[in-house]
Amino acid sequence: MKQGCLGLLFVLMVSLVSASDACAELIWNKDTGWVDPLTLNPAVPDQRYKIATSMMIDGEYESAVKEFKGILDAHPDSDLAESCYYNIGQSYFLAGKYKKAFKAYETLLERFPGIRITGLIHQREFEAGTSLMQENPKASVPVFERVIEHNPQGPLAADCQVKIADAYFLAEDFVNAEPAYRAVIENYPRSAWAPYAMYRIPLSKLSLEARRDRDMGNLWKARDGFEEYLANYPDGTLVEEAKKKIHETEDLIAQKEYSIAEFYLRKKNPASAMVYLKRIADRFPNTRWADKSQDTMVFLQKINAVKK
């Protein structure tokens, strides 16, 4: 490979201790052997590259990125460009900046389409998405989608589709998680992930219903919180707004409970429906659902579906 290419990535560092215990740090690559960074001239592209590489070794990732970018700005068409783009991505990845790492890898693929290490770059993008997924699940979805676009039937495609579904699930976006898992079965039916996806589809449905149940509880908590505000700050600047929010919250709760009453009516269980209809009429008399509940109860009594 040309000087300054990926062979420079595989570097080692040792400390040579003299009799006086003074240390001199060296770096090594297959093209030039051992080099002392302190003797390098940053005005020379090859030597500046070695300085940037030594910064990566020392964990000075921001400084390394700056140097690699400086080389690209000054010598965009040099033999070092491919390695610089790659090392920028690696530096960002090692620094925990996974979005920037992904963008750097994408830039490398755009700048050098069809390069020998294309498969390796796809793997690095997948790793960046996996790490980003732990921090921000939904932010990782475009990364995995892009890897699939690069090679829809490639070795990473099924893994990426599962990661997309898992990312939605982690974000509690069960509405999008279910079709994402279904896409695993549809697009990669022979994948080892197919049984897992089949299990996660109903789990997503169940989790969605559970979350909706929690939403009902959160609505009650919100209502109580607004009332607590009014009790503690009767002359507060947000009193009228709090009153409006209480009404909005009660209307949402009443709507949900009326939906439950309708469910029981569809199941031909008017007695259970009446429990919810009466509760709406008693607890939320100032909502639109109270009037609907009253009308429904009168109708059920009129047709003798329930006792008067």
What phi-psi label fits residue 29: left (phi over 0), alpha (psi between -120 and 50 degrees) or beta?
A: beta
Q: Where are the domains of the chain?
A: 1-95, 249-302
Mean of all residue pLDDT scores within the chain: 83
Q: Of 3-17, 165-179, 229-243, which range is least confident?
A: 3-17
Phi, psi of 158, rounded to the nearest 5 degrees: -65, -40
Tokens 């949402």 locate to: 252
In this predicted structure, the answer to whether residue 62 has a pLDDT above a threshold of 60 is yes
Q: Among 3-12, 68-77, 123-132, 218-227, which is the least confidently predicted range?
A: 3-12
Tokens read off for 187:
């697009």
**Distance between start and end Cα atoms, the chain:** 91
Q: Are 251 and 288 in contact (CB under 8 A)?
A: yes
Coil, strand or helix at 223: helix
Structural contact between residues 283 and 249, judged by C-beta atoms closer than 8 angstroms: no
pTM over 0.75: no
Residue 81 near residue 97 (C-beta atoms within 8 A): no
Query: pLDDT-derived band of residue 93, with 50, 70 and 90 as boundaries?
Result: very high
d(CA 135, CA 131): 7
